[in-house]
Amino acid sequence: MGSLGAIVRHPDEVYPLLKLKMAARHAEKQIPAEPHWAFCYTMLLKVSRSFALVIQQLDPQLRNAVCIFYLVLRALDTVEDDTSIATDVKEPILIAFHRHIYDRDWHFSCGTKEYKVLMDQFHHVSTAFLELEKNYQAAIENITKEMGAGMAKFICNEVETVDDYDEYCHYVAGLVGLGLSKLFHASGKEDLAPDHLSNSMGLFLQKTNIIRDYLEDINEIPKSRMFWPRQIWSKYVNKLEDLKYEENSVKAVQCLNDMVTNALLHAEDCLKYMSALRDMSIFRFCAIPQIMAIGTLALCYNNIEVFRGVVKMRRGLTAKVIDRTKTMADVYGAFFDFSCMLKSKVDKNDPNATKTLSRLEAIQKTCRESGLLSKRKPYILRNESTNSSTMVLILVIILSIIFAYLSAKRQDN
């Protein structure tokens, strides 16, 4: 549920953690009986537990379409990510992937762990896809075709310029944003969002992941995956892998801050996209990952640990985001809080400090001008180190109840 130390330091996260735990169990119980749908929803829980929880809020038809859309693109991404596949084998698979989803017999063994299972038993995904309404199938096919072609384009081409970076992120994530907007529109619940806003929703998430996953990608075997654009990293080091070496720590952090500043460009578009959503379940489905992204950027900024290990939001804060994100006021509040957190970490001597502060102030201005900041609860307690004794007492009582419940359950078994 989260480390005891984190719970003691942040007792306000205990209740959201318990709710998240219960939601996870509920999601497991909601898995359909049909073998192909059971496989899809079980696989969704394995490849992205948080996504699987958020998707449960959508109505059944739209939920099924989004589930299959996600798994199809995960499978496509698995082919792209597997550096052991020869280029002459990988390229035609990526280009033809939109046709494979219509073939109940097609599968291709690649990837590792749960992704290998997804690829080996892809016929379940195809079977479920063929049961979707035609308008959903068309939207998924079109986005898969564009994404596969874009991925194939970048197999042999490194990300050189910032424009290349934006184009690559468009193919692997911006198109996801466009596809989801089409699915929402096909459901009759939302107007079709402008393409540039849908694209920014995807780019904001993808750039956050690329920043956070630097070390995992650079250490990939048998071949590194390099997504940071040369136009940015070459200002600081001679080779991208040099950023992970301790002697380059100062330059590495400066490069990291440059990357975060680039990602912040998309935040205002994301706020505009989310403010236009009408359906509550679709709104929460879109808003929670975006808040996680701005929170992750705030943690990564000026943080050398990005080059040493894994940097991510603690589970309790994630649970709080999932629990509290219900209105646009909550979104503005989260973006404002996390941008304040990031702003407090900006070193005036950083080469990009002026640009970073300008982008953060633009985000904060948008949040203030919404007029909704006074209507939300803060995601970050200003004095987290001085938790009240009352909260600690409540924590002890809750943990005692949980322990007693688990002990009783164990005895019954």
Catalytic residues: 168, 212, 225, 285
Residue 20, H or E segment: helix 14-29
Exposure string of 211-230, with b = 16+ CB inside 10 Å and e = fewer, is bbbbbebbeeeeeeebbbbb
Structure tokens at 26: 């509920």
Sign of the Cα pseudo-torsion (159, 164, 169, 172, in order): negative
Look up residue 312 and give its DSSP letter.
-
Q: Residue 367: which of 332, 392, 394 has the closest Cα?
A: 332
Sign of CA dihedral 70, 71, 72, 75: positive
Nearest Cα to 274, choosing from 327, 206, 321, 318? 327
Cα angle for residues 215, 320, 331 (degrees, 5° grid)? 90
On whether the CB atoms of residues 57 and 281 are closer than 8 A, the answer is yes
CB atoms within 10 A of CB 245: 13
- How far are the Cα atoms of 144, 246, 379 from residue 382, in angstroms, in the given order? 44, 32, 9
**Sequence-separated (6 or more) residues with CB below 8 Å from residue 49:** 24
As a whole number of Å, the end-to-end CA separation of the chain is 22
Query: Could you tell me if 205 and 187 are in contact, meaning their C-beta atoms sit under 8 angstroms apart?
Result: no
Helix (H, G, I), strand (E, B) or coil at 112: coil
Amino acid identity for residue 73 in this structure? L
The sign of the CA dihedral 117, 121, 126, 132 is negative
